[in-house]
Amino acid sequence: MRLLIIGGGGREHALALALAADDPSHHIYVAPGNPGTAAVATNLPIPPDDLDRIADAVDAHAIDLTLVGPELPLALGLADRLRAEGRTVFGPGANGARIEASKAFAKEVMHAAGVPTARSRTFTDAGAALAYIDSHAEPLVVKASGLAAGKGAIVCLTRDEARHAARAMLSERIFGDAGSVVVVEEFLEGEELSVLAVTNGREVRLLPAAQDHKRLLDGDHGPNTGGMGAYAPVSIATPAVLRRVTDSVLLPTLRELERRGAPYRGVLYAGLMLHPDGTPNVVEFNCRLGDPETQVVVPLIASGLTALLDAAARGEPLPTIGIRAGAAVTTILAAAGYPDHPVKGDVISIPTDLGPGVTVYHAGTQLRDDGALVVNGGRVLAVTALAATFDEARQRSRAAAERITFEGKQFRRDIGWREQVRGER
């Protein structure tokens, strides 16, 4: 097949490598791609939000299947545009992408579908939001409704923190238009779980469940980021829990989207808070494969990835996939100054002998004219290790992350710490 992957981060590098391994006869393009994807695919210098040039590239290169990585082009209607031109695309239309692009809309869908989620109120006026916060129990969560690069949700331990967050979004516009509508919701107790479901709009095929690490620093301290690492599978995601997620979260949401005229083909990503009694509550939905979850989940797929994505895109029955035994752990290497002011231009050195089962996915990297690999974004590299056990994978990922060098490198040394604690009990 001739495949076009939209995006230029670690998620897209992981997809390109996995699809190339699934069928070496694939001809893969990535727009815009990065130095990592260039080694396995043909990069096209097209921004993900340039819908006209992407549509032209699909025609020019006779693309059989387009896979959209980031949320922005989906929210802008890229999938609608390509489907209207008779092209096959993996990803929802703009109406379906609102499940991520508008947290207020997502709450409406969940309430209508009876999907378990935190109680919340939506605001456009700062005064009304502050009055609600003053009457609300601590802690609580303040969220920018729109797309904020994974940084628009602020957990507030006190009402003072929540007031500050609401003012910053609604009055100071720290997230721009993304924060013009704010959702204030109760804080949910439990453990986070990421469930990525490939869907044709009617049925779902679950990928291995993962757990992301949003905070910058070890021990879940520091500011929220786009994700500092992940691991899969997660032992608390038992077959019974995943059946419950399917029956009470995923399928009702798809039915409600269909009822609203937004048939959904692609990945429905459920970010969950799993209560100790096994009840899954939705924290958020994403309309695409997660980052860094893709870098830890896709390597665990042994076979059938292309067929699954293609069937979902076409609305056809979903085939099964083969899953590798063992575990995967991904450690993100971030630039100095990340997440607020990442420093670009520092030279990166990646040893060639990082050990068995280790793959380095490029995200914020660039090749200089002199051939040097340099930092070109906040999250720079994703270091994924596969191994027979979680402990082995964790040790390999961390050891490889230690050996890669660039000035000001930031990374967490405790990815998967909850799983480790469970294993020690």
Q: Residues 231, 415: contact at Cβ < 8 Å? A: yes
Integer Cα distance of 242 and 247 in angstroms: 9
Taking residues 48-68, what's their average pLDDT? 98
Q: Residues 128, 150: contact at Cβ < 8 Å? A: no
Burial class (CB in 10 A: 0-12, 13-18, 19+), 317: exposed
152-177 pLDDT, tens per residue? 888 889 999 999 999 999 998 989 88
Integer Cα distance of 100 and 250 in angstroms: 14
Phi-psi region of 56 (alpha: psi -120 to 50; beta: other; left: phi over 0): alpha
If one looks up domain 189-323 in CATH, what number appears?
A: 3.30.470.20
- As a dihedral over the C-alpha atoms of residue 401, residue 67, residue 31, residue 290, rounded to 10 degrees, the angle is -30
320-366 pLDDT, tens per residue? 999 999 999 999 999 999 999 999 999 999 999 999 999 999 999 99
What angle separates helix 126-134 from helix 159-170, to the nearest 10 degrees? 170
- For residue 224, what pLDDT is reported? 85
Assess whether pLDDT exceeds 70 at residue 232.
Answer: yes
- For residue 189, what pLDDT is reported? 85
- For residue 278, what pLDDT is reported? 82
State pTM to two decimals.
0.94
Q: Which two tokens stand for residue 39?
A: 């080694």
Integer Cα distance of 105 and 107 in angstroms: 5
> What backbone torsions phi and psi does residue 362 show, to the nearest 5 degrees?
-80, 140
Residue bearing tokens 């097949």: 1
Domain residue limits, the chain: 2-94, 119-186, 189-323, 329-424
Which CATH class name applies to 329-424?
A: alpha beta
- For residue 66, what pLDDT is reported? 98
> Running DSSP on this structure, what letter comes out for residue 209?
P
Using DSSP, state whether 394 is helix, strand or coil: helix
Q: Which two tokens stand for residue 338?
A: 């990340």
- 139 preceded by a cis bond (ω within 30 of 0): yes
> What backbone torsions phi and psi does residue 416 show, to the nearest 5 degrees?
85, 20
- For residue 425, what pLDDT is reported? 66
Stated as kind and residue range, the H or E segment containing 212 is: strand 211-212
357-411 pLDDT, tens per residue? 999 999 999 999 999 999 999 999 999 999 999 999 999 999 999 999 999 999 9
Per DSSP, the residues of 7-44 read: E-SHHHHHHHHHHHHH-TT-EEEEEE--TTGGGTSEE-
Which one of 2.40.50.140, 3.30.1490.20, 3.40.50.10420, 1.10.645.10 gives the CATH number of domain 119-186?
Answer: 3.30.1490.20
Q: Do domains 119-186 and 329-424 have the same CATH topology?
A: no
245-279 pLDDT, tens per residue? 999 999 999 999 999 999 999 999 999 999 888 88
- Give residues with Cβ within 8 angstroms of 400, minimum separation 6: 331, 354, 355, 358, 360, 383, 385
- Give residues with Cβ within 8 angstroms of 127, minimum separation 6: none
- For residue 145, what pLDDT is reported? 87
The distance in angstroms from the start CA to the end CA of the chain is: 48
- Give residues with Cβ within 8 angstroms of 380, minimum separation 6: 332, 333, 334, 335, 348, 363, 364, 365, 406, 409
Which CATH class name applies to 2-94?
A: alpha beta
Per DSSP, the residues of 227-272 read: -SEEEE--TT--HHHHHHHIIIIIHHHHHHHHHTT----EEEEEEE
> What backbone torsions phi and psi does residue 126 show, to the nearest 5 degrees?
-65, -40
Phi-psi region of 7 (alpha: psi -120 to 50; beta: other; left: phi over 0): left
